Structure 1
């Protein structure tokens, strides 16, 4: 199957591209810079979701059977400092992708990547969130993903497109940059191990519970959704398991080669936070038989090892 991946050079995009090639799919990688390279045989093309002509040109040339739309602004913190950029990239960008599909590749199935952040304070109900749970987003990033998903499905219905909007919960793994809780912890710990900073790790609220998946499980879920015939709609990608952030940090402390102090940093605290935020994956399991398979702590160790190698190469 020929598959177009927007945002292919990002954390998720790179691993998705490699996994698709390993499954014998032909991949067209939409990238922002011509010099981007991949560790798999792919076709690279410049695409900018805010430049509609670039989208239409690639779609007309390659006529993909499926599009995985990953391109976007992914950081909650950045969405507060630059909400206009976030809305333009995530909402207008998504609309441009779908409009380009309508003009140049109407047969393509679209996998639109949203976020569990769309549910927002509905998590205060204290139960695993399903696709039928109400959405009450609490930051510009969450609003942008919620809006993009709603508009995408409406445009798909109007234009008779195949489209699913995925809401992945917290995910982590090698290649993810700082700005996300596990990569923040690990990057700081490894920097201390390498004598690159003072021996303390800055944290936010570590008493909360969250739902985490290792990146390869997330990738597998996306592939299952594009390889199966599934109805249009919303799909959670999550573990269904609640993990206290404090417990994750405690495990990483045990794996560390050095001792350090944990310090609470007010800059890492969310303006609106909920104590329990966990999803339910029954819908995607029923549609595709997908279920997570990577043990959580195994994923932590692989991520820790990756950061150690990354830092050692800077010597």
Structure 2
């Protein structure tokens, strides 16, 4: 059975991906920080800070993986503005530490690095769905750190490590932090329905257009990309995108339609990003051609599940 080391296993995507990987036949060694993992999910748990090169090297040596997925990152854009040093130390040096650990302890492992669509930044201003050949023009510390990490992975791949870079677009779903836009909407609606918040939903820029995917579809794409381990001619970098543009206002309207209480909407200046761009949509042709993957879950289904999740969370909150 292939052994897969998953960094960032305690995060939103990591928890969901663990089960999907197991169903796909992988033994999952989950690597997280000091947070106690949920019991009974991964096959094995290891704990270390990826900024600690020695501890990470030991963890990779202990895991002896055949595959690696490197999810661990500071991924919240506003946090990257507030704590740029932590962002760079985690996203860049943490990635370098992992690459060195894999090179020394598991040089035959296939490594998948999920970067981010945020790397395209100002390139989105063309209004055209970006391809993997579009030059990154990051507009925030998170995106800049992901570009730097991408170059580190490319260099190690050039030197002989086997792997691939993914650029996932906005993925959403149950269990996502309310720091992210759709989860914030769903949580506020659930609180309003429960009488725990005034019937006013606070929002940022609703005119922005984004490319949304269900997190389950993204996990499926990651699993398909792992299959490239035996394909020496695979592309080095692939977008994971729906290829469809969705205005955030329209996404909010879909959520509001699922509520039976009157809710007004109010702009909150604190929720506006200093570098917000009007349109961010990705071209997924290369991924489809390379793996056969395509998104399978309708946005309406994702939003329904997201709202039900926050309703359940609200009902269980003391």
Common fold by TM > 0.5: yes
Equivalent positions of 1:218-233 (< 5 A) are 218-229=218-229, 230=231, 231=234, 233=236
Provide the C-alpha distance between the structure 1 equivalents of 2:73 and 2:215, rounded to a whole number of angstroms: 17
RMSD between superposed Cα atoms in Å: 1.2
Q: Is 1:3 the equivalent of 2:9?
A: no
Give deviations 1:246-291, integer Å, cap 9, x for gaps: 1111111111132121001111112122221100111111111111
Equivalent positions of 1:87-106 (< 5 A) are 87-106=88-107
Q: Which residue of 2 aligns with 1:266?
A: 269
How far 1:197 sits from its partner (Å)?
Answer: 1.5
Q: Is 1:215 the equivalent of 2:215?
A: yes
CA 1:214–1:32 in 2, change beyond 3 Å: closer, same or farther?
same
| Bigger shift: residues 222-231 or 285-294 | 222-231
Q: Is 1:305 the equivalent of 2:308?
A: yes
How far 1:48 sits from its partner (Å)?
Answer: 1.5
TM-score normalised over the length of structure 2: 0.96
Q: Is 1:199 the equivalent of 2:199?
A: yes
Runs of at least 4 residues of structure 1 off by over 4 A? Answer: none
Provide the C-alpha distance between the structure 1 equivalents of 2:35 and 2:245, rounded to a whole number of angstroms: 41
1:284 to 273, 283, 287: 287
SS in 2 for 1:16: helix
TM-score normalised over the length of structure 1: 0.97
Provide the C-alpha distance between the structure 1 equivalents of 2:281 and 2:69, rounded to a whole number of angstroms: 24
Give the gaps of 5 or more residues in structure 2. Answer: none
Q: In the alignment, is the contact (CA less than 8 A) between 2:29 and 2:42 conserved in 1?
A: no
Give the number of equivalent residue pairs.
Answer: 314
Provide the C-alpha distance between the structure 2 equivalents of 1:279 and 1:39, rounded to a whole number of angstroms: 36
Provide the C-alpha distance between the structure 2 equivalents of 1:254 and 1:92, rounded to a whole number of angstroms: 44
How far 1:232 sits from its partner (Å)?
Answer: 5.2
Q: In the alignment, is the contact (CA less than 8 A) between 1:114 and 1:149 conserved in 2?
A: yes
Provide the C-alpha distance between the structure 2 equivalents of 1:91 and 1:145, rounded to a whole number of angstroms: 7
How far 1:178 sits from its partner (Å)?
Answer: 1.3
How far 1:35 sits from its partner (Å)?
Answer: 2.8
Give the gaps of 5 or more residues in structure 1. Answer: none
Q: In the alignment, is the contact (CA less than 8 A) between 1:6 and 1:47 conserved in 2?
A: no
Q: Which residue of 2 aligns with 1:161?
A: 161
